[in-house]
Structure 1
């Protein structure tokens, strides 16, 4: 269900669930990016009872296939499959995602509204301008969201941890997550974006073979993690690990 939000205090639309404090929030430049790059991890967290959300920065309106109306319905359907607590759209222009003050204020205000503890963003090595643009935009927004004197509505909020997920380029992960147990749910969530993955192949990403192609990556990372399938992330700050858990 689409819940339009027109208040300047909330520069986003809620398309699934309710606005609430989140344990994890994944930023997606376009609909389906979060499912493809981090979907298994998000599903595992949701199944464990964590409050998990996705925020699309654009509606993917310049994509070759689908319309914004069709894609928002697909996003809601995928959110239900994944068990998300919330999914929203910021409505920034597709193809123009970059670090501007206006966009950073909108994203920072959203971070204050949903208050994620962990933020997951695209890797800056990605070849797609909207993906590395989202990374740089998120850096400024995370900074602004915590400033008491920033010209923003809402109470200041500090994100505790930022993770980078794999999109269209290879990465050198510092964190691998076993996602074998949620493969069927992950595939269903990805394929809920039917307008992108049920028609003609447009690119290496927009293709009916998306699950097969992405699962090859999961298999590779799983080999390194001694698991069947794993998702890869990179941390920019060191992780504190209990040696007894190793």
Structure 2
């Protein structure tokens, strides 16, 4: 028997089938790592969501309540369809059977076609923990006999987004047209990005630093800004799209 399953708590919108779901270990991770792409998708009429695995309660700055309010503000800026929080313990995100069943139930609830997860190459334990947890949860969500609430669901594709470390991206998204809203969405997390320097990511310089990364990836496609992802499986393309 499995442990009792945690149910994701909705903080924005209503649970429904999503085109894209971004898993974020903490509030603000999705905006920093994949925010431009999520905004572009929302503008194109796609159903886009974010699921925070934790409430960020171990963060040096900001209470969970403050950070949730910031998530709501950012969701409105980005045009999200849904945003939820799974309630795993901050600082202890890991691939455990109980957590995997909880995440699998969330995947069955919102049925994403594409799942964006943190890259395994990251210094933060919650980030690489989220990657390994997501892999097990994707597998469980598709199993008919898994003791997971909801109807089985097979995620169509999983993409890895950049966190704190370098990545070998093989999927790039032009985000130059949405940089103003991307910046506003990050600034909505004011508890993290105002005041003094705390870490390489919790700093008022976060936008400047991330713009530098997006500029680098953009040069590879001869655009101003591009957001990087890594697909661990080959991408099947129609030659007419090349």
TM-score range, shorter chain: over 0.9
Give the Cα–Cα distance (whole angstroms) in 1 for the partners of residues 167 and 238 of structure 2: 25
Superposition deviation, residue 245 in structure 1: 2.0
Q: Aligned to 1:130, what secondary structure does the other structure show?
A: helix
1:236 to 217, 221, 232: 232
Gaps of 5+ in 2: none
User: Which segments of structure 1 move beyond 6 Å, counting only runs of 4 or more?
Assistant: none
Contact kept in structure 2, 1:219 and 1:228, CA below 8 Å: yes
Residue equivalent to 1:183? 179
User: 1:68-88 CA distances to partner (integer Å, 9 max, x unpaired)?
Assistant: 000000001000000000000
> Are residues 1:22 and 2:18 paired?
yes
User: 1:44-79 CA distances to partner (integer Å, 9 max, x unpaired)?
Assistant: 000000000000000000000000000000001000
Contact kept in structure 2, 1:10 and 1:113, CA below 8 Å: no
Give the Cα–Cα distance (whole angstroms) in 1 for the partners of residues 98 and 5 of structure 2: 14
Residue equivalent to 1:5? none
Give the Cα–Cα distance (whole angstroms) in 2 for the partners of residues 196 and 50 of structure 1: 29
Give the Cα–Cα distance (whole angstroms) in 2 for the partners of residues 46 and 10 of structure 1: 28
Residue equivalent to 1:217? 213
Trace 1:52-67 onto structure 2 (pairs within 5 A).
Answer: 52-67=48-63
Q: Aligned to 2:115, what secondary structure does the other structure show?
A: strand
> Are residues 1:166 and 2:150 paired?
no
Give the Cα–Cα distance (whole angstroms) in 2 for the partners of residues 242 and 41 of structure 1: 21
Give the Cα–Cα distance (whole angstroms) in 2 for the partners of residues 235 and 52 of structure 1: 19
Q: How many aligned residue pairs are there?
A: 239
Give the Cα–Cα distance (whole angstroms) in 2 for the partners of residues 71 and 149 of structure 1: 37
| TM-score of the two chains, using structure 1 as the length reference | 0.96
Residue equivalent to 2:133? 137
> Are residues 1:125 and 2:121 paired?
yes
Q: Aligned to 1:164, what secondary structure does the other structure show?
A: strand
Give the Cα–Cα distance (whole angstroms) in 2 for the partners of residues 172 and 103 of structure 1: 28
Gaps of 5+ in 1: 1-7
Residue equivalent to 1:44? 40
> Are residues 1:154 and 2:145 paired?
no
Superposition deviation, residue 9 in structure 1: 7.1
The Cα RMSD (Å) is: 0.9
Residue equivalent to 1:3? none
Q: Aligned to 2:220, what secondary structure does the other structure show?
A: helix
| TM-score of the two chains, using structure 2 as the length reference | 0.97
Q: Aligned to 2:11, what secondary structure does the other structure show?
A: strand
Q: Aligned to 2:147, what secondary structure does the other structure show?
A: coil
Give the Cα–Cα distance (whole angstroms) in 1 for the partners of residues 159 and 193 of structure 2: 27
User: 1:27-56 CA distances to partner (integer Å, 9 max, x unpaired)?
Assistant: 000000000000000000000000000000
Superposition deviation, residue 244 in structure 1: 2.1
Q: Aligned to 1:176, what secondary structure does the other structure show?
A: strand
Residue equivalent to 2:188? 192
